[in-house]
A and B are shown apart, each in its own frame.
Chain A
Amino acid sequence: MPLIRRGGGRSPPVEDNGSDPERLLRDGTSDQRWAAARSLAGQPQAVDALGGALSTESDARVREAILTGLARIGTPASAEAIVPLIRSEKADVRTAALDALRLMPRALEAHLTTLLKDAEPDVRVLACDLARELPPPVATRLLCALLAHDAEANACAAAVEVLAECGEASALQALAACAERFADVPFLVFSANIASERIRAQAPARDG
């Protein structure tokens, strides 16, 4: 009846592939690069090695391990290594970068002010979505600053959408001003009004 015969089974441990992970991360096979990225995960001194590899890595699996490693480090420097990927033309690369940045909200905050002023509207839209991960007072402050000046309706709409979820009462004035500034963009006026209503409805609960 025993399922295993005497002497059977017992697989060898999973190998970590050597003692020089930084070199293997640059020059190894994809299996070695994967293992190297995982060995360096969470080590603040490995930000440069992981960030450098991230910019050239073409294997999605290895890229995923590098992103996890940088997210575990969770410093502004490790976030900085990831930020350029949100400009990638490849949707899967952008998504992977955004997922990693969402894991490190404290480190992200240092970069969002800049990203929310980026010359590229698509980057500002993505940055608005990332602001969702920040504490509500911080997200409200940053998104209201965008609402005050951004000329792109889609970027403002992205900010309004996030404010509708986590905005504080201090956003009401910026939302009203945004609706006025984009009076000829009906969907944005509608969205701003909805967001204001939600914030007013939720304010007593949040304050309580």
Chain B
Amino acid sequence: MADAAPVTEDELRRLSEFLYRRTGMVFTESKRYYVQRRVSDRMAVTGATSFASYFARLRSDIAGEIEQFINAFTVNETYFYREEHQLQCLTRDLLAERTRRRPRSDAIRIWSVPCSTGEEPYSIALWLLENWAQVDAYDIEIVGSDIDTRVLGAAAGGVFGRRALMRLTPDLVGRYFEPLEDEHWRILQDIRDSVRFTPINLVETAETRTQGKFDVIFCRNVLIYFDDASRRVAAENLYENLAPGGFICLGHTESMSRISPLFDVRRFNDAIVYQRPERPHG
């Protein structure tokens, strides 16, 4: 990492505003170290000798710097079968409701956003194969999306280290992964073919609309990075992306009720989830 001069208060504000307008993510003075470290990294990579020259490069999006800059600010650490209780809820309750009045062979669509390096959408695929008796009766389309285009490439590659697999039994790893060198494993081609990865900015309505409607959305631990206004926009986007009666699962510290009144709260044995009403509230 280059030892760039510390960003000033004004520079931090300009950077934060730029990032906010692009992503809805908020970085205040309390995150100065986090911002400084990433700006220094990007300045080193791009060869910028001052904040002013780097910021000019960023605003002009030279060599796709905006995308690289946003990628540097996203958090990507996760693992398979994280918050397993929600996966239990998916197969015990959510899919039972979603398929109750639908013909077999119908399409069931599940969205993992943000999907990071693929652990969550692949977890959903494995979980369904292992735990949902009707898995062969429906076409199940799983889409993984993230604003960080770097991680999408890694997600499609499907290679994971030991830490990402720590919650999976050796039996599951043996049946669904092929071992590589250096304590890494690649998830089987059939599973990789079951998940489609797309770049998405959750606060850009034109982008989220391209994904169509889903039966279940997993949107965990991302809304906490947005300010109140961006959270509302994201919530309305997610509402549009749910089929009427569809469900959305948030992270365990998040509550849609504090963001938007558009959704109903549903309490199941394994999880609290939010539902787009079959008909809009009057």
Contact of A204 with B by CB under 8 A: no
Check A2/B212 contact, CB under 8 A, given A64-B260, A64-B261, A68-B236: no
Interface code B48-59, partner A: CB below 8 Å = 1, 0 otherwise?
000000000000
A60-B236 contact in complex given A3-B194, A4-B139, A71-B229, C-beta closer than 8 Å: no
Query: In this assembly, does B280 line the interface, its C-beta being within 8 Å of a C-beta of chain A?
Result: yes
Chain B residues whose C-beta falls within 8 Å of the C-beta of A104 in the assembled complex: 229
Q: How far is the CB of B93 from chain A (nearest CB, A)?
A: 19
**Contact of B282 with A3 in the complex, beta carbons under 8 Å:** no
CB distance from B205 to the nearest CB of A (A): 6
Interface bits A1-18 vs B (CB < 8 Å: 1, else 0):
111110011111111100
- In the bound complex, residues from chain A placing their C-beta under 8 Å from that of B125 are 3
Chain B, interface size: which category? 35 or more
Q: Please, which residues of chain A bring their CB within 8 A of the CB of B267? A: none
Interface footprint category on A: 20 to 34
- Residue B188 CB within 8 A of the other chain: yes
Residues of chain B with a CB closer than 8 A to A4's CB? 107, 139-142, 193-194
B107 touches A1 (CB 8 A): no
Q: Mark A21-34, 1 if CB is under 8 A from B, else 0.
A: 00000000010001
Chain B nearest CB, measured from A101 CB (Å): 11
Shortest beta-carbon distance from A208 to chain B in Å: 15
Across the interface, do A11 and B107 meet the contact criterion of CB distance under 8 Å?
yes
Residues of the B chain whose Cβ atoms lie less than 8 Å from the Cβ of A11: 107, 109, 141, 211-214
Q: How far is the CA of A102 from the CA of B280 in the complex (A)?
A: 25
Number of A-B contacts (CB under 8 A): 94
- Decide: B232 and A71 in contact? CB cutoff 8 A: yes
The A-contacting residues of B in range 200-242, CB under 8 angstroms, are 205, 208-214, 228-229, 232-233, 236, 240-241
Q: Give chain B residues whose Cβ lies under 8 Å from the Cβ of A12.
A: 212
Q: Which residues of B contact A103 (CB under 8 A)?
A: 228-229, 232
Neighbouring A residues of B107 by C-beta, 8 Å: 4, 8-9, 11
A-B contacts besides A14-B208, A68-B229, 15 pairs, CB < 8 Å: A1-B188, A2-B194, A3-B125, A3-B135, A3-B140, A9-B141, A10-B212, A11-B109, A14-B213, A30-B280, A34-B280, A38-B236, A41-B233, A96-B261, A102-B228
Complex A-B: 22 CB contacts under 8 Å: A1-B190, A1-B191, A2-B191, A3-B135, A4-B139, A4-B140, A4-B141, A4-B193, A5-B139, A8-B139, A11-B211, A14-B209, A14-B213, A30-B280, A38-B240, A41-B233, A58-B282, A61-B262, A61-B280, A61-B281, A68-B236, A103-B232
